[in-house]
Amino acid sequence: MRGVTDDFWRDADAHLIRYGGIFTPEIIASAEGSWLTTESGRRILDFTSGQMSAVLGHSHPDVVATVRRQVGDLDHRFSGMLSRPVVDLARRLSESLPDPLSKVLLLTTGAESNEAAIRMAKLVTGKHEIVSFAASWHGMTQGAAAATYSSKRAGYGPVAPGNLAIPTPNSYRPDVPDGDGQLDWRRQLDLGFSLVDAQSTGSLAACIVEPILSSGGVIVPPPGYLTALAQQCRERGMLLILDEAQTGVGRTGLMYAFEREGVVPDILTLSKTLGAGLPLAAVITSESIEAIAHERGFLFYTTHVSDPLVAAVGNTVLDVVERDGLVSRAAVLGARLHEGLVGLQSRHAAIGDVRGHGLMQGLELVTDRESKAPADALGAAVTTRCLELGLHMNVVQIPGWGGTFRIAPPLTASEEEIDLGVEILDRAIGECATA
């Protein structure tokens, strides 16, 4: 067995293109529910839902049954053909959303859905400038990558022209403080858009933001922020695009995170959670925006647009979320998780902040609470120790943010699994912070 394992890593080293960070030093053989199993038979509690996607846990029996049935009936077809799973999912997504969001485009990845949304916004408005947060992550395709600032941009040449950044409303690290040292987010937002106005050529098309910034550090905008942001967009004739790749389909304790403020975007994008780990994404907009886009020849014709296999999975995800009450369950389990993390904060001086909604929580490690200096090395050490103890954790992969954990267990996790994850994290921080 040792030789076979050595061959695996030798082949991986010889033949895989490295695409970011390092590979976890485990060979994953299978997964079920909240657990991963390695080839050696070791079980690992998954506190990231795969790539922040598997809201139903791994290998959910309903999803497995749907894939087996659908792949035997209709998996793929010519992109101009339609099938019942596609139209059913479009209708159901529309019914789950407030007016006027009613028109749906089904794609594969989050980057692809954001690419399509940005492309649509440019065509409909006749403008080309896109505003996003300075800690944003929207994907790796051209337009989405140009609106992404939390990853390294150097070395790839010029991005799409017209992309502008506004400050991220990080309440834990206020860059525009008020008299009490708290984030003055209204002044920060006004300042951000004054800079946008100064740089704009008069061609502002859209603003794209995540309701909770995940790769940017699990940053939750203050109450009222999205409402004020939407107003800034309206004043300039811009469309508001909300990227709910990670926050949609119940993750935050609401079906969609924008419901917390009642801000309805002009365009909504979904991905990761919609397919519960399978490659499914959606762009959803109003009938009026879709009509203008169509009239002007909107083109986003891909190999896997409106694929029936993953659309059938999306319908099953909605079935399970509704049947099992997983939105409210995410709120209850999220409160339990948050309480557990706050308890850790009271015991470990290295924990500077705990933040998030539902089953999307962030925990930030610092070298000391006074300076709030980032603790990247400690974050790496805790991540390694957690894995040794049987817990998969993920830190933000950005220098200066490597002590910030993104915690997102499946909505199907048990209370015991939530508690176990917190216990393992408690032990790992305790051992690493005193090492």
Q: Which tens digits make up the pLDDT trace of 50-79?
A: 999 999 999 999 999 999 999 999 999 999
| DSSP states along 226-256 | HHHHHHHHHHTTPEEEEE-TTTTTTTTSSSS
Separation of alpha carbons 364 and 366, rounded Å: 7
Which residue in 46, 129, 184, 210 is the catalytic one?
A: 210
- pLDDT at residue 6, rounded to an integer: 87
431 classed as catalytic = no
pLDDT at 214 over 60: yes
**103 given a catalytic annotation:** no
Q: Phi/psi class of residue 210: alpha, beta or left (left: φ > 0; alpha: ψ in -120 to 50)?
A: beta
The predicted structure's pLDDT at residue 110 = 97
- Give the mean model confidence (pLDDT) for residues 246-267: 97
To the query of whether residue 246 is one of the catalytic residues in this protein, the response is: yes
Q: What are the strands, taking DSSP E only, across 366-423?
A: 391-392, 404-407
421 φ/ψ angles, rounded to the nearest 5 degrees: -60, -45
Average pLDDT over residues 147-157: 90
Q: Which of 137, 260, 290, 361 is catalytic?
A: 137
State mean pLDDT over 95-124. Answer: 98
| Band of residue 1 on the pLDDT scale cut at 50, 70, 90 | low
Please say if the pLDDT value at position 124 is more than 70.
yes
Q: Would residue 426 show up in a list of annotated catalytic residues for this protein?
A: no
In which residue are the tokens 């959803």 written?
284
pLDDT at 117 over 70: yes
Query: How far lies 13's CA from each of 6, 27, 357, 380, in Å?
Result: 11, 13, 39, 22
pLDDT of residue 89: 98
236-245: average pLDDT: 98
Residue 206 and residue 241 in contact, taking contact as beta carbons nearer than 8 Å: yes
Query: What domains appear along the chain, each with residue ranges and CATH number?
Result: 2-60+325-433 (3.90.1150.10), 74-323 (3.40.640.10)
- What is the model's pLDDT at position 287? 98
pLDDT of residue 41: 95
Per-residue pLDDT band at 152 (split at 50, 70, 90): confident
Catalytic residue among 246, 251, 353, 361: 246
243 Cβ contact list (under 8 Å, min separation 6):
110, 114, 138, 208, 209, 210, 269
Q: Extract the runs of DSSP E, i.e. beta strands, from 321-411.
A: 351-357, 360-365, 391-392, 404-407
Catalytic residue (one of 127, 272, 329, 385): 272
Per cent of the chain over pLDDT 70 is 99
- The CA distance from 187 to 190, in Å, is 5
Catalytic residue among 243, 290, 376, 417: 243
Output the pLDDT for position 4.
67
pLDDT score recorded for residue 153: 86
Give the chain's radius of gyration (CA, Å): 22
Do β-strands 163-166 and 129-133 pair in parallel, antiparallel, or remain unpaired?
parallel
Average pLDDT rounded to a whole number, residues 390-405 = 84
**How far is residue 106 from each of residues 177, 271, 319, measured CA to CA in Å?**
42, 9, 18
pLDDT at 157 over 60: yes
**434 band by pLDDT with thresholds 50, 70 and 90:** confident
* Count of CB atoms situated within 10 Å of the CB of 207: 28
Q: pLDDT at position 252, please? A: 98
Locate 232 and state its tokens.
């800034």
pLDDT score at 151: 85
193: Cα separation from own chain's centroid: 25
Residues counted in the chain: 435
Q: What is the pLDDT of residue 64?
A: 98
With H, G, I as helix, E, B as strand and everything else as coil, classify residue 154: coil
Do 392 and 360 meet the contact criterion of CB atoms below 8 Å apart?
no
- Distance, CA of 20 to CA of 397 (rounded, Å): 9
Q: Please give the average per-residue pLDDT across 2-19, as a whole number.
A: 88
* pTM to 2 decimal places: 0.96
pLDDT > 70? residue 410: yes
The yes-or-no answer on residue 9 being catalytic is: no
Chain centroid to Cα 164, Å, comes to 21
**How many percent of the chain have pLDDT more than 90?**
93
Report, as an integer, the average pLDDT of 347-367. 97
**H helix or E strand, kind and range, residue 257:** none
Residue 22 pLDDT class (50, 70, 90 cuts): confident
Mean pLDDT of 145-153: 90
In the predicted model, is pLDDT for residue 402 greater than 90?
A: no
Please give the pLDDT value at position 395.
84
- Residue range 3-27: mean pLDDT, rounded: 89
Q: One-letter amino acid identity for 160?
A: A
Q: Give yes or no: 406 in active site.
A: yes
Q: What are phi and psi of 269, to 5 degrees?
A: -120, 140
Collect all residues with Cβ–Cβ distance below 8 Å to 229 and sequence separation of at least 6.
189, 207, 209, 221, 240, 263
3-state SS record for 58-124: ECCHHHHHHHHHHHHHCCCCCCCCCCHHHHHHHHHHHHCCCCCEEEEEEECCHHHHHHHHHHHHHHH
Cβ-contact 287, 100 below 8 angstroms:
yes
Which pLDDT score, from 0 to 100, does residue 2 have?
65
C-alpha to C-alpha distance for 292 and 298, rounded to whole angstroms: 9
**What's the mean pLDDT in 284-307?**
98
Query: Among residues 175, 206, 205, which one has the least CA distance to residue 191?
Result: 175
What is the band of 5 on the pLDDT scale with cuts at 50, 70, 90? confident
